[in-house]
Amino acid sequence: MCGRYANARHDGDLLRDLAVSSVVDDAPPPSWNIAPTAQARVVLERLVDDQPDRQLRTLKWGLVPSWAKDLRIAAKLVNARSETITEKPAFKAAAAKRRCLVPADGYYEWMVAEDGKHPMYLHGDGLLAFAGLYELRPDVEDPDRWLWTYTIITCTATDELGHIHDRSPVLVPADLRDAWLDPKMTDPAGVRTLVDSIPPPRLHAYEVATTVNSARNDGPELIEP
């Protein structure tokens, strides 16, 4: 799974690297320890006058489907398995119509060893773009506002990643990001084909201090080896 990640990049970097057209709302502070229920930057495309508008928004991590009566369901929908996103009731509508990219510098997994769990930081050679899904619905706590939430899609981990954890985020390469965000692609079969075409991630990993274990801790020192 993916339960913690880092994104300390400025909006300007995301505008450039992910070809964003519109900045919709304010950015949260940079964070090296984004945890479920936190607010974080997400890139998505919406049709505006029948034209796609690539937007940078701040959403809450943990998907809340439109039919959910209890917002606490978000804690169970932090991740979505790539194998079943077009079938599971919680995800299939979003998979067809509301896909997004979740920018990240890297993410954390806890490797199980004989002496306990060791936090590992996994990263690439630049910006990572996790495949995600998003939902929007009236906020039950404030009907005049909309609640925007997201989940990160995961797949079976391979190679070095598989020794750390059996799941890893789906990373959308640059040449497939336009297709992934395309709001006009609504055929579940096409989404399934696209997901299956995404190559496995190739990342670097090293151990970090156990201070990352607490979501209350934050700062660039968390990603130091």
For this structure, is 155 an active site residue? no
For this structure, is 109 an active site residue? yes
- Asked if residues 138 and 186 have their Cβ atoms less than 8 Å apart, the reply is no
Can you tell me the distance from the alpha carbon of 95 to that of 5, in angstroms, rounded to the nearest whole number? 22
Q: What is the DSSP string of 72-133?
A: GGGGG-SEEEGGGTTTSTTTHHHHHH-EEEEEEEEEEEEEEETTEEEEEEEEEEEEEEEEEE
Can you tell me the distance from the alpha carbon of 123 to that of 103, in angstroms, rounded to the nearest whole number? 12
Can you tell me the distance from the alpha carbon of 94 to that of 149, in angstroms, rounded to the nearest whole number? 11
E-assigned strand segments in the chain: 5-7, 22-23, 31-34, 39-48, 51-61, 79-81, 99-113, 116-139, 142-156, 167-169, 204-207
- Asked if residues 101 and 42 have their Cβ atoms less than 8 Å apart, the reply is yes
**The total number of residues written for the chain in this structure:** 225
Which member of 45, 83, 100, 109 is catalytic? Answer: 109
DSSP, res 141: T
Coil, strand or helix at 221: helix
Which member of 2, 45, 135, 155 is catalytic? Answer: 2
- Residues classed as catalytic: 2, 109
